[in-house]
Amino acid sequence: MTQTALYNNKYILGISFISALGGYLFGFDFAVITGALPFLRTVFGLSAWWEGFLTGSLALGCIVGTLIAGNIADRLGRRPGLMFAAIIFAFSSLGMAFADTLSVFVAFRFMAGIGVGMASMLSPLYIAEISPATVRGRNVAINQLTIVIGILVTNIINYNLADNGPDAWRWMFGLGAIPAILFLVGLIWLPESPRYLVKAGKLEKAQSVLNKIGNVTFANNTLADIKTSFTGNTQKQSYAAVFAKNVRPAVIIGITLAVFQQLCGINVVFNYTSTIFAALGASLNEQLFETVAIGIVNLIFALVAMWQVDKLGRKPLMLFGSGALAVLYIVLALLLKNQAATIYVSVVVLAAISVYSMSLAPVTWVLISEIFPNKIRGLASSVAVVSLWAAYFILVFTFPILAEQIGTYGPFWLYAAICILGYLFIKIKVKETKGKTLEELETM
């Protein structure tokens, strides 16, 4: 009688949450700028161009960090990359807090982006590689959960610090060093990914990690599948291998989904909440309170995504997200154009956040972490995530300029059109991946 594969769910969830603390720091650096921008505009005398560049400088660092992470992931392992990211987070948070000129601040925000870029690639990649197929979507969504917790906690702290004088923004950034240090300490107990260990020829260590994740049947079957997926691919891979003919379709899908997740426009709402609501005459206190409301809705629907991603599947959630956002952006553009009451704009903004948080936000990261073959997963993931951060830079850099030229409402017509195109791409090109092992997905 064949023994059934069983999993150690407590252990899997524990190491998933430790890895996902990188997502919390991602959320911190992503959100802290929202509360700090009203102060930074005054302190550094920001023009629309500089406001966009200062906000987007995080994305430029993310591009560099993602490229670094791809090499570290495939040469040294997933765990060392996460540790390096934690150190960068701590150092850059303090650097931004003590910056006395715009150029120094931007340099440290760029450095923070390196840490965000590394964590944004390595955390979901690691979680996908240590998770059994039946719960992989849920576990990778934990990373999105910690991102939104980071956003919410940061927005609440920003809201409470806002009345503490003109230097409140320094505390907003400096407090980021605390979770960064906690993340670094947690990584001490994190095992290396068994798929990296097999790739590195460390079969005994891989077997040991798999024995902790599940029973003997699970460990032996998984190890055999991983070894088979690496057959004939023991040489070191280069970025040229990422674009080889046999894996190119998966890479094109990964890049397109990554770019779409950003150009769909929702991060304009996250990063420029104060700008959008200031255009309606909202006070600073109202603007910062709106960021807290966004954070709460973001968290609630991230939990919905964790609950549904392995039930409904990846593709239905992505289709729902892209279609619903297109409709909501059209409504938002009309409301902003006609200077509607703040409460109506707030309802539509929160609806858009809820849709994104249960669909495009977590599911894109799930798909990027699982659609690439074992032999190139680290490098291919870095290419997709680089594309994501390049799109994020374009989005946040151009919004203040577009808003100044055509009104705050104008860009949302463009984002609605992009969402329609994204819906069509997902409908035609994206295949369902739920319930399949990473090795099974290689044969799809």
Confidence of residue 233 (pLDDT cuts 50, 70, 90): low
pLDDT of residue 1: 38
Return the HEC string of 289-309: HHHHHHHHHHHHHHHHHHHHC
What's the mean pLDDT in 221-235?
A: 72
Q: What is the mean pLDDT of the chain?
A: 86
In-domain check, residue 225: no
What domain range includes position 238?
9-190+232-441
Question: What tens digit of pLDDT does each residue of 189-206 get?
Answer: 899 988 889 888 898 999
In a domain, 162, yes or no: yes
pLDDT in tens, 376-393: 777 788 888 889 889 988
Return d(Cα 390, Cα 392) in angstroms, integer: 5
Number of structural domains in the chain: 1
204 assigned to some structural domain: no
Per-residue pLDDT for 429 more than 70? yes
415, 265 Cβ separation under 8 angstroms = yes
Q: Is 208 among the domain residues?
A: no
The type of residue at 156 is I
In a domain, 207, yes or no: no
Percent of the chain at pLDDT exceeding 70: 95
pLDDT of residue 442: 65
Two structure tokens written together for 205: 């260590």
Query: Is residue 147 within 8 Å of residue 21, measured between CB atoms?
Result: no
For residue 422, what is the domain's CATH number?
1.20.1250.20
Would you say 441 and 430 are in contact if contact means Cβ atoms under 8 Å apart? no
The answer to whether residue 30 sits within a structural domain is: yes
Whether 198 is covered by a domain: the verdict is no
pLDDT in tens, 23-64: 898 889 878 887 888 888 888 888 888 888 888 898 899 889
Q: Does 218 fall in a domain?
A: no
Question: For residue 236, what pLDDT is reported?
Answer: 58
Please write the tens of the pLDDT for every residue from 263-304.
Answer: 999 888 877 777 778 777 777 677 777 878 888 888 888 888
Distance CA 251, CA 262 (A): 17
Q: What is the pLDDT of residues 303-352, one digit of tens each?
A: 887 777 778 888 999 999 999 999 999 999 999 898 888 888 889 989 99
Q: Could you give the percent of the chain with pLDDT greater than 90?
A: 29
Sign of the C-alpha dihedral computed for residues 119, 40, 340 and 391 taken in this order: negative
